[in-house]
Amino acid sequence: MIAASLITLSACKRDKTDSTPALTNADDNGGYASDAAKLESTNNDVLNMADLAATSGAANLRTTSTCVTVTNDTTATPHVLTLNFGTGCTGIDGKLRTGEIIVTYSGRYKDSGSTHTITFNNYTVDGNRVTGSKTVTNNGTNTSGQVWYTVVVNDSIKLADDSLITQTAHRTRTWLTGYSTPARDDDSYSIADVAGYSTVLRRANGHIFNIAITSPLTVAVDCANIEAGTLDISSTSFTGGDRILDYSYSLGTAGSCDALAQLTIGSHTYVVILR
């Protein structure tokens, strides 16, 4: 039902080729960038799996086909799609998932006006418990003839150390490629903020960060990472201005499906490792 791709971010690492100083405590040691990407990654992964489950059952999920059970109750109103990972299901992406993703929906994902709400039942990824909800509404086509959606996100991740990070966002998701084909591995999307909204991230230490998409994020079903786009991260705890997280950064072709991004703080840059 809902498609996109997804990443998880490790800690920021300094580019070994320059003399960039270590991140300061005022920057939470770069942890806000890591948390933002964790939530972004988890959000997109769930949307992607829900879409694939609705169209092809368990066959094309990012898991082994024998350890996740997909059920679709179309007799209920609204319909209910459930992805059950049981007590442990390791995917082809190397992530261990448990519990359930539950999608309550009216109409197919491609139907104009359809809505899909995603919730969780003891769902974890690599020991991190995911809670909250996402509601996706199909808005039909835009002036360019592309199908687009509004996504309202209220995400929380309880990390293995019992700390909690949360995120709220209002996004648009525009279908770029693959709409006219039955396959899902050629699908890609552009993600932007709804006008007047930005993402609010609250870290486990209580610090709050506002995140605005300044260049639309590009995500593809067949790529585990966000391929392009930039985020502007601001906070009252920052000195020296906002921070820029650029997913287009690459050591090869810019915007390619690699595991790198770049965090810019003033005149300094840091390489971010995606995993």
CA distance 109 to 85: 22
Can you give the residue range of the structural domain that contains 50? 9-274
pLDDT tens-digit series, residues 86-126: 999 998 778 899 999 999 998 888 889 999 999 999 999 99
**56 burial type by CB count under 10 A (0-12 exposed, 13-18 middle, 19+ buried):** middle
Q: How many domains does the chain have?
A: 1
Strands, E assignment, 75-159: 79-84, 89-90, 96-106, 115-125, 128-141, 147-158
CA distance 161 to 158: 8
Q: Is 143 inside any structural domain? A: yes
Buried b (16+ CB within 10 A) or exposed e, 189-222: bbbbbeeeebbebbbbeeeebebebeebbbbbbe
pLDDT tens-digit series, residues 225-269: 788 999 999 988 787 788 899 988 887 666 678 878 888 988 888
Q: Is 3 inside any structural domain? A: no
Q: Is 4 inside any structural domain? A: no
Q: Which residues pair with 264 in a beta bridge?
A: 244, 269
pTM: 0.78
Q: Is 51 inside any structural domain? A: yes
Q: Is 198 inside any structural domain? A: yes
More confident residue, 197 or 238: 197
